[in-house]
Chain A
Amino acid sequence: MNSSIFFGVATIAYIFAMVAYIIYLAFKKSTIGIIGTTATVVGFASQTLAFGLRWAEFYDIGRMGVLRSIPLTNLYESLVFFVWCLILGYLVIEWKYKTRSFGAFITPIAVITLAFTSISGVSTEIQPLVPALQSNWLLAHVTMSFIAYSAFAISCAAALMYLAVTAEDRKSFPYIFWTVTLALFITSFVAMGFDFVTLRISAKSPEAFIQNYLFKASFRSGSGVIVAISVAVLLAVVYLVWRYGFHLRKIIAALSLTPDVLDDLTYKTIAIGFPIFTLGGLIFGAIWADQAWGKYWSWDPKETWSLITWFVYAFYIHARHMRGWRGNKVAIMAVIGFACSIFTYLGVNLLLSGLHSYGSMQ
């Protein structure tokens, strides 16, 4: 049995679940909701199996011990793991909050991410580890960072929904903020899709992929016309989301998702993500760097940006606990926090390494 078969099953199941959840959103038939949940659980079980099998395959090839063989070494694997965490988080939320309404928002993220890995031809092949990556600390670091990223992704989605539900006035800052952010997310996703369809690349490593290909078919294209069109499309999407965003508000409002539930969910996911990020992202990362390079902290852009992310979430938590901030203000913080997380993972390598030839440390 091959991991890719189960992975295929999982992908199909998630697509099925997404369709079911969206129909459920429209018609509120509980049978359809149950179908959605079943498909998600089947997909999740299948993906878990695929993950385990790939682990075993990697173990057979690399022969580096069980722990070192965890398949979390390249862009493809990290995105797939992100989806796994996201779905797990979603299932827990569905069970704890007794609502299926988030399904229609979370499963599309999973499906888009998976579609992105498969149409892209991001290298799915199993590659053995270079020396610096052969560390159990690094393994714990990567795993926990992605669990935290998934938690932050859910908190960001909940915070955006919160803003969508509560912001009434189209000219108010919270309304503009959530519509523009959503539009930016959508456009970037579509732009990345274009990269893959047009460039058909198979990146060797996330760094190579990000440096060489990201947005090359749109915003970073060599042709000025394409750049201009891309910017125009971006502005159009921003306008459309801003203009018709209140429809989304109606849908969410009809879903028995009260602002209180959304605010609570934003906080809970951050309260889980923050300690995991601190321990796995910062502390384990520092221990790994200490053992590999003899420097637990060297203020390189990646470290600095993860510290900035940490400050944003620390601010969120203190604002809530000490100042009693609720609602729009903290929801915006949660969205900014996730934007910083994405920047830490992708942006540092993309933008900052474009400026210098940083990242030569092997």
Chain B
Amino acid sequence: MDTNKEKTGIVDRVWRYFSSVSLAVVIFSIISLTSIVGTIIEQQAEPARNIKLLTKFFGESLAPTLFKVLDAMGFTDMFGSWWFMGLLFLFASNLVVCSIDRLPKIWKVVKTPITPLSDDQINAITSKQELVLKGNVEKTAQKVNDSLTKIGFRGDIRKEGIITQICAEKGRYSRLGVYVTHLSILLILLGAVVGMKFGFNGNLNLMEGTSSHVAFRSNGQEVPLGFELRCDDFDVDFYPDSDRPKGYKSWLTVVENGKEIMKKEIEVNSPLTYKGITFYQASFGFEPNRDAIFKFTVTPSGGKAQDISAKFGEPFAVQGTNFTGMVVDFSPALGVDESGKLFTYAESMNNPAAFVEFSEAGKPKFKQWILKRYPETWKSQIGTVEFKELWGVQYTGLQVRKDPGVWIVYLGCIIMALGLFTAFFMSHARIWIRLREEKNSTRLTIASSINKNRIAFSRTLDRFVKELLDKA
């Protein structure tokens, strides 16, 4: 750190404080502590909920006042409050100043390749060993270089008078890992700011068969999409014989200037993106209405399969027979209770069932429950009646997002992964080997230094020495 006493102007003092670890610690602590409050006070919630919570701890008389204070301080929506943004901004400035302060020094180290050390310097290194090998300096130097290659180093032979020194190093750039990690945090914060500034978050409920050219923010405000989105169909897929959902699917179409631009089937974890706006499958709902259409595929015995669409209570003809059918009852989730009585067990389409009445020449012949999920109920006196779906009663709940900053965030994440890997799992290792001619042999002094992972490195060095001795 800068120890120059003359530079004590206010700017320097602020700079020094901003480049200190102490500030980082203070910011870490304040962010953490206020965040804890933010996880206890429910965010963006109805005031009554938080007042109820405060009453539990502080009693009825104090709770409303306390709530007002917390609300005024922004704790009820703290992660979007100006002071929390301020804290994050301070955190970012601290990182920037720290990096600017330390980077030049580190950069110099990183740009400077290893140089031979003087005898004094070598003596000052604690981690070193000596050995004597047969043969002259030149031959030994060659052997040393070969052995260095075996452990992944490249030796550089330097001669100065009678002293020969071989230097080798690895992972010099790994010293930058810390700064790369810090940079990645800044990138992620930048991406978040870009997203907040130029993007939006909203939602949109679309009934099967309807479309919209706007989405809605959480406060109800409309956001134009710039195109039209239509929901063609929605369906929930269940695991066999259970009400455990396997998948929620919406079939969406993008319409622009009256033309269908693209169609996509979206699911949870598989959204649709068009012109920077992404639609996520978030929820769904069921709203029974008279305009809904029952879709069947009827295959009369010995006849051809035919697709039939019909509304509730409206008769439909089965071609190739004298029969007409009519849906007279419907249940979104048909169940059977213990006494064998039928009932509807859920408010959503868990087990859709249509009660169809078939008539021959205008006279009612038989009625039958046909269940969409159970093919065994499709068999009837006139053949197979497959209940394909009831269309126009479900709506898909879409989460709508535009975030031009998300790519910066993703880039930041990738850089962070690389930075962390470098910072924690790579190290800068240096080896200096001094060779001195003795009669018929050469004396080697092997000195080394590493900034991390010392134990693993000393094992590598052991291998190197063994290799050398084996050659001799």
Binding site for B on A (CB under 8 A): 96, 127-128, 130-132, 134-135, 271-272, 274-275, 278-279, 283, 286-288, 290-297, 299, 301, 304-305, 307-308, 311-312, 314-315, 318-319, 322-323, 348, 352, 355-356, 358
Since A291-B271, A311-B32, A312-B32 are in contact, a sample of 7 more A-B pairs with Cβ atoms closer than 8 Å, ordered by chain A residue number, is: A275-B424, A283-B413, A286-B409, A295-B201, A299-B79, A314-B28, A319-B21
B43 within 8 Å of A by Cβ? yes
| Chain B nearest Cβ from A63, distance in angstroms | 10
Q: Which of B379-424 contact A (CB under 8 A)?
A: 399-401, 403, 406, 409-410, 413, 416-417, 420-421, 423-424
Are B35 and A131 in contact (CB-based, < 8 A)? no
Q: Is B38 an interface residue (CB 8 A)?
A: yes
Contacts of A305 in B (CB 8 A): 39
Q: Is B248 an interface residue (CB 8 A)?
A: yes
Query: Does B371 interact with chain A (Cβ within 8 Å)?
Result: no
CB pair B245–A293 under 8 Å, yes or no, is: no
Q: Which residue of B lies closest to A272 (CB)?
A: B424
Contact across chains for A278 and B420 when beta carbons are under 8 A apart: yes
Determine if B42 is an interface residue (Cβ-Cβ < 8 Å).
Answer: yes
A294 adjacent to B420 (CB under 8 Å): no
In the assembled complex, 22 residue pairs joining A and B whose CB atoms fall closer than 8 Å, in A order, are: A131-B246, A131-B248, A134-B268, A271-B424, A272-B424, A279-B416, A279-B420, A283-B413, A283-B417, A292-B268, A293-B280, A293-B282, A294-B201, A294-B400, A294-B403, A301-B39, A304-B38, A305-B39, A352-B39, A355-B53, A356-B42, A356-B45
B→A interface (CB under 8 Å): 21, 24-25, 28, 31-32, 35-36, 38-40, 42-43, 45, 49, 53, 79, 192, 201, 239, 244-248, 267-271, 278, 280-282, 399-401, 403, 406, 409-410, 413, 416-417, 420-421, 423-425, 455
A18 to B: closest C-beta gap in Å: 28
In the bound complex, do residue B28 and residue A311 qualify as a contact, i.e. CB atoms below 8 Å apart? Answer: yes
A279 to B281, CA, bound (A): 26
**What's the Cα separation between A314 and B32 when bound, in Å?**
12
Contact of B409 among A296, A308, A314 (CB under 8 A): A296
Partner of A323, one of B21, B246, B413: B21
Partner of B36, one of A293, A296, A308: A308
Q: Which residue of B lies closest to A130 (CB)?
A: B245
What A residues does B192 contact at CB under 8 A?
297
Query: In the complex, which residues of chain B have a beta carbon less than 8 angstroms from the beta carbon of A279?
Result: 416-417, 420
Find chain B residues with CB under 8 A from A292 CB.
268-269, 280
Find B416's partner among A283, A318, A352, A355 (CB 8 Å cutoff). Answer: A283
CA A304 to CA B43, docked complex, whole Å: 12
Chain B residues with CB below 8 A from A275, complex form: 420-421, 423-425
Shortest C-beta distance, A305 to chain B (Å), equals: 6
**CB proximity of B139 to chain A, nearest CB, Å:** 37
Distance in angstroms from A39 CB to nearest chain B CB is: 27
The listed residue (A96, A128, A134, A319) touching B269 by CB distance below 8 A is: A134
Complex Cα–Cα for A301 and B409 (A): 21
Contact of A278 among B28, B247, B416 (CB under 8 A): B416
Please determine whether B40 and A295 come into contact, CB atoms closer than 8 angstroms.
no
